[in-house]
Structure 1
Amino acid sequence: MRTAAAATSSLLLLLALTPPSNGVEADAARVRVTVFYEALCPDSRNFIVHQLYPVWQDLGNIMNLDLHAFGKARETDAGGFTCQHGERECEANLMLTCAQSVVRDPQALMKFIHCVMQRYEGVDGGLLCANDSGVDYSEVRECMSSGAGVRLQHDIGEKQAQLNPRLTYVPWILLNNVFTAKTLSLAQDDLRRVVCNAYRGPTPKACEE
């Protein structure tokens, strides 16, 4: 069973990435894009840098992003994590998760995530990306060192474990809470078309280009 803490954590991370809308109808029509990714995964980097970030810049007002830096990580009996691309990736996943928890400005947060993924240096690029994005990195560090970030990572692991079908590839992309192999493939090549086709509100100008 999914815990209340896990549900609350997921909601907070989602809200951190959701720009304000113009009303209830606009909220209901938003396209929810859920992504489980890894900080040092080449395919995750390519998707976030070349698809997710530019599409969000143009269509963020019709999207709800639900991002989770975890992927093929595993929680250990000691309460830590092992990651597909090593300890540096675990640290970077933690940093990105903490940023989502403490940064309330969606623009600053997405710019930070994009910068971290583009630089591809893990935590070594954290401070520079925070400065470039207007993010208070001291708050991110506090989350990382206080145990709060580890709890958030645990919650993400629990959420990911309930995916059906289970994650076998990173990035793992769901549209409106539904996974299909077709959406996974299309989203990595043309996320704009995927989001525009799924949106049920008035056609945004960015979907007409």
Structure 2
Amino acid sequence: MKLSGLLAVLLLLCTVRISSGGSHPKPACRYPPSQWCRSLEIAIACNVQKQCMELNATRPNLAVPPVSVTLYYESLCPACRVFITQQLFPTWTILHDIMTVTLVPYGNAKELPSENSPFTCQHGEPECRANMIEACIIHLSRHSAFRIISCMESSADVLRAAQSCLQLYAPSVSWSSVSSCVTGGLGRQLMHVNAVMTRGLNPAHTHVPWVTFNGEYTEENEDKAMSSLFHLVCQLYKGVKPPACSGAPVRLNRGFC
């Protein structure tokens, strides 16, 4: 039996079990739309099985690796903020099935042998704090991290927006856990890892935002990314291009009321 057929059978069986058992009432949907198709259980809980099956039918071949995009940046760098909010996040929102994003907040910072002030940053102490907050959020919130970071970077005040953006996109992650990460040793460890990753770039970075694709940096790709990251990701993906890349309409078997 094909995987799609097996999934359909599983969906049907699970739906029957939930609807027929009086002692097993259908759970309420407690998940944001971005997670509805993350698993079979969530799809059933949110009553979107059919829609998720249709979505899966149009997804690219999972055997083809996605385009790996890694951004080395500073939290308060104006150019970094523009790239995140106007290029990287919008592109990922549409093409997340064929690309992965890794965020490395550090940029032009310097790591110092000091317990009280282990880092100095291009835009001062507020940026060092914001870098560490974002590093902790990335570590603690996992799948929701990019949405939180984009929310922060698109705000008028990155630091002030941190807590509300976290509550909006990752309500299960407490702000106290982020604060503990920042003030404790974990935050410094995370920033040290980012420092090592940034220092290990080859060629060495000369500015931020600094973007690598599948672990490699070229000026040509950087120029393309700054003007149209969306088209570059479509170009670099080796599998069958998703409909969004060609602009071709997708016919789905939809019903209407």
TM-score higher than 0.5: yes
- CA separation of 1:185/1:95 partners in 2, compared to 1, >3 Å: closer, same or farther? same
Tell me the CA shift for residue 123 of structure 1: 2.2
> Contact (CA 8 Å) 1:88, 1:122: kept in 2 or not?
no
What amino acid is aligned across from residue 42 of structure 1 in structure 2? P
Could you list the runs of 5+ residues in structure 2 that have no partner in the other structure? 1-36, 40-55, 248-257
Structure 2 counterpart of 1:41: 77
Q: Deviation of residue 122 (structure 1)?
A: 3.0
Uncovered stretches (5+) of structure 1, i.e. residues with no partner? 1-18
Write the letter of the residue equivalent to 1:64: T
Paired residue for 1:57? Answer: 93
Structure of greater Rg: 2
**1:89–1:122 contact (8 Å) kept in structure 2:** no
Tell me the amino acid that sits aligned with residue 58 of structure 1: I
Which of 143, 158, 170 matches 1:134?
Answer: 170
CA distance in 2, matches of 1:141, 1:204: 40
- Once the two structures are TM-superposed, the CA of residue 62 in structure 1 deviates from its matched residue by 0.9
Deviation at 1:102, TM superposition (A): 0.6
1:139-180 CA-to-partner distances (Å, cap 9, x unmatched) read 222211221011111011111111111111100000111101
Within 5 A, what are the aligned runs for 1:118-133? 118-133=154-169
The corresponding residue for 1:166 is: 204
Q: What aligned pairs does 1:167-182 form with structure 2 within 5 A after superposition?
A: 167-182=205-220
Native 8 Å contact 1:40 1:89 kept in 2: yes
What is the match of residue 252 of structure 2? none
> For residues 94 and 177 of structure 2, what CA distance do their matches in structure 1 show?
28
Amino acid at match of 2:134: L
Change (3 A) 1:51 1:27: farther
CA distance in 2, matches of 1:33, 1:65: 5
Whole-Å separation in 1 of the counterparts to 2:107 and 2:63: 28
CA distance in structure 1 between the aligned counterparts of 2:127 and 2:100, rounded to whole angstroms: 25
1:143, 1:60 → 2: CA distance?
A: 28
Asked if the contact 1:37–1:71 (Cα under 8 Å) also holds between the matched residues in 2, the reply is yes
Q: Confirm or deny: 8 A CA contact 1:196 1:207 kept in the other structure.
A: yes
**Per the alignment, in what secondary structure is the counterpart of residue 163 of structure 1?**
coil
Alpha-carbon separation, structure 1, partners of 2:122 and 2:135: 17
* Identity over aligned pairs, percent: 35
Higher relative helix content? 1
Give the Cα separation in 1 of the matches to 2:160 and 2:213. Answer: 32
Deviation of the 1:29 alpha carbon: 2.0
Q: More relative contact order in 1 or in 2 (CA 8 Å, sep 6+)?
A: 1
Asked if 1 retains the 8 angstrom alpha-carbon contact of 2:141 and 2:170, the reply is no
Q: Which moved more, 1:132-141 or 1:53-62?
A: 132-141
Separation in 2 of the partners of 1:156 and 1:189?
26
Residue 68 of structure 2, aligned match among 17, 29, 32: 32
1:5 counterpart residue number:
none
What is the number of residues matched between the two proteins? 189
For 1:75, give the aligned amino acid. Answer: E
Which position in structure 2 is the counterpart of 1:93?
131
- What's the offset of the Cα at 1:120? 4.4
| Counterpart pick for 2:104 among 56, 68, 75 | 68
After superposition, the CA RMSD in angstroms is 2.1
Q: Counterpart amino acid of 1:100? A: I
Deviation string 1:115-146 (CA, Å, 9 cap, x unpaired) is 11011423222112112223422222221122
